[in-house]
Amino acid sequence: MNSRFLYCLVGITAPFAAQADPLWVGRFSETDKIIPAPWKIQHLDQRVPPTQYTLRKWDGVVAIEAKAKKSMALLGRPLAVDLKKTPILCWQWRIDAPVASADMTQKSGDDYAARVYLTFAVPPDQLSFCTRTKLHLARSIYGAQVPDAALNYIWDNRHPIGTLQDNVYTDRARMLVLRSGTSQAGVWVQERRNVLADFRRSFGDINSELRGLAVASDTDNTGEEAHAGFADFRFVETEDTCPISNDGADL
């Protein structure tokens, strides 16, 4: 469905300099009754039911819980992050199982048990005339939320880890497989990605500004169900570890 349009160099420091605090963008508390602002549901296609998002403490981790049943919606928030200063995005996620019949090479299979979605603004002079035209058309249909570029970290069902390809609906969104299959299903898995490096690998050495972060479980194309969790999103400097807010070891 066409709503897919919608959906990281530090300086020289002293050897024992203290590491900067992480920039938390998704840390949740047991005292939160609902998912706090600025996170909000982005239900972009009214033809399908929205994925359900709630907060829960899950194996000791206070997390966003996503339940998808023939559904699609993002849970996202705006960002203002200097990727030259803090390019590393850390988080943890889990799934019960991948979407069995999904296939990211086909529109009919463009579903994921879990994905982390980053959106970017790119200066117009660094986009081709054809790209600017496509984006203008998309925004005339779907609104200003259509990004200049998007990077999706996905938990896939079949493709090898490290696979990077265009989304089947638009070449302005790239799909990067971080986890694949069932071997790590049912447990929390910690991630650490250099978003700046991944963006340049995906779109080339062009200027960009990170504008948004979203999570999603979607099964509207395959008609299946998915159950996933997301927690502890934070940006850190290149040489920093990834401390987590719940009990557990750093990455």
Residues 6+ apart with CB under 8 A from 49: 69, 70, 71
Q: Is 80 in contact with 38 (CB distance < 8 Å)?
A: no
| Top-confidence residue, 49 or 16 | 49
76-92: pLDDT as tens digits: 999 999 999 999 999 99
Q: What is the pLDDT of residue 182?
A: 96
- What is the rounded average pLDDT for all residues in the chain? 85
User: CB-based contacts of 70: which residues, under 8 Å, 6+ apart?
Assistant: 48, 49, 219, 220, 223, 224, 225
Q: What is the pLDDT of residue 101?
A: 96
Could you tell me where the DSSP H helices lie in 159-229? 195-203
Residue range 168-174: mean pLDDT, rounded: 87
> Model's pTM, two decimal places?
0.85
Q: What is the mean pLDDT of residues 19-27?
A: 86
Please give the distance of CA 239 from its chain centroid, rounded to a whole number: 22
- Would you state the pLDDT for residue 248? 38
Instruction: Give pLDDT, residue 170.
Output: 84
Spans of all domains in the chain: 20-224
- pLDDT, residue 138, reads 64
- Structure confidence at residue 231 (pLDDT): 97
